[in-house]
Amino acid sequence: MSARTPRLPESADVAIVGAGAAGLMAGIWAGRGGAGRRIVLLDGARRPGAKILVSGGGRCNVTHDEVDASAYAGSSPHAIGKVLRRFDARRAAAFFCSIGVELEREEETGKLFPASGSARTVLEALLRAAKEAGAELHHPCRVESVTRAAEGFVLSGEFGLLRARRVVLATGGKSLPETGSDGHGFAIARSLGVGLTERVFPALVPLTLPPGHFLCALSGVSAPALLELWSGAGRRLASSAGAVLCAHFGLSGPAILDISRHVNEALHRDAGAALTVNWLPGTLAAELDRGLRQLPPADDGGARLPGPAPLRRDLRRGRQDRRLQLPVGLGERLHRGRVALRRTALRSPRARCAR
């Protein structure tokens, strides 16, 4: 499936705009579902599937071992549940196995990754399955417009014109413009009368902190944490647990990415929204306070503390050189440390998360 595939046909039964993960899946199932259909995939990139290659830190987790409607946002639980009943995590895992992608479960998160540890395994399998299903991939062929015609649609671009009875828009959003996900698909949808949500915003992004925030000085330190998002009135809006990575610009890591869309929505609606970070989940604040105050200045003192090794090491070093102050209630602060949020808290979607 190179850019030198046979010349673009004049017509197709199904034209799919975008050959990323969604587009390739659409091409596979459209081809399998009807013998004799002409399925054409059009992608503007020289190398389709770039977002697949960077997903999951280059490993590309394809699903979780268990998935239900509560894991999704952006639609009603009923609508999401209806989709999952037709194609749940079990069927997704079976599909990838059927196209040659052996999967392994990550114990801590339940995510399913290719056993090869490489996202390229997933991309090559999808490209191969699409070809076997009879879908034709043409790239770089950027679709500039889609218009309605008497018997379907007309797609146009520098490649010329393509008539199609049906069109699938799988262009992606605006998450990674250099790969082709630059928002142009939204314009095509609007031109066809398809409605979009009132607000379109990033859903999986790191969070920035004010310049000089002390957490930025801990760049590179990662620890498990519990995140909780609160309204200005004190109501818990969302929570997320997992690894949190301190970066030079703020916070990243899986737990931050999972809660970022809720942070964005909360800031839009409530200027008083706050995010709290429990750096020692599963440990009582009072227990931590006692441990800190009983901590001797010995080299092995940090081993008596609960929590991740980086935090124990830093506490031990600080205790030894007497620069670490241990105020009453430090345990509570580590449990409910508030992170200052601003309307500019979301890092640019162009910036990839350091993992």
Per-residue pLDDT averaged across 263-274, rounded? 88
- The Cα 180–Cα 92 span in angstroms is 26
What's the confidence (pLDDT) of residue 192? 94
Mean pLDDT for all residues in the chain: 82
Residue 250 confidence (pLDDT) above 50: yes
- The Cα 106–Cα 245 span in angstroms is 19
Taking only the tens place, the pLDDT of each residue in 53-65 is 998 889 999 999 9
Residue 110 confidence (pLDDT) above 80: yes
- The Cα 220–Cα 242 span in angstroms is 16
Residue 40 confidence (pLDDT) above 50: yes
User: Which range in 65-79, 202-216, 249-263 is most confidently predicted, on average pLDDT?
Assistant: 249-263
What's the confidence (pLDDT) of residue 335? 54
Q: Where are the domains of the chain?
A: 11-60+118-191, 207-339
Residue 329 confidence (pLDDT) above 80: no
pTM over cut 0.85:
no
Question: For the ranges 46-50, 262-266, 272-276, 330-334, which has the lowest average pLDDT?
Answer: 330-334
pLDDT grade for 111, boundaries at 50, 70 and 90: very high
Per-residue pLDDT averaged across 157-178, rounded? 91
Instruction: Compute φ and ψ for 21, nearest 5 degrees.
Output: -60, -45
Burial 49-63 (b: 16+ CB within 10 A, else e): bbbbbebbeebbbbb
Helices (H) and strands (E) in the chain, counts: 10, 15
pLDDT grade for 11, boundaries at 50, 70 and 90: very high
Q: How many residues does the chain have?
A: 355
Q: How many CB atoms lie within 10 A of CB 342?
A: 12
Taking only the tens place, the pLDDT of each residue in 183-242 is 899 999 999 999 888 888 878 889 988 888 888 888 999 988 999 999 989 999 999 998
Tell the burial category of 323 from Cβ atoms under 10 Å away from its Cβ (0-12, 13-18, 19+).
exposed
Residue 203 corresponds to which tokens in the numbers above? 């859903």
What's the confidence (pLDDT) of residue 211? 82
DSSP classification of residue 325? -
- The Cα 125–Cα 95 span in angstroms is 11
Percentage, residues of the chain above pLDDT 90: 47
What's the confidence (pLDDT) of residue 328? 42
310 against 58, higher pLDDT? 58
Among 221, 227, 342, residue whose Cα is nearest residue 275: 227
Q: What is the CA radius of gyration of the chain?
A: 24
Place domain 11-60+118-191 in its CATH homologous superfamily: FAD/NAD(P)-binding domain (3.50.50.60)
Per-residue pLDDT averaged across 156-182, rounded? 90
Among 203, 142, 117, residue whose Cα is nearest residue 8: 142
What's the confidence (pLDDT) of residue 130? 96
Per-residue pLDDT averaged across 158-163, rounded? 94
Question: For the ranges 6-15, 231-240, 323-332, which has the lowest average pLDDT?
Answer: 323-332
Residue 287 confidence (pLDDT) above 90: no
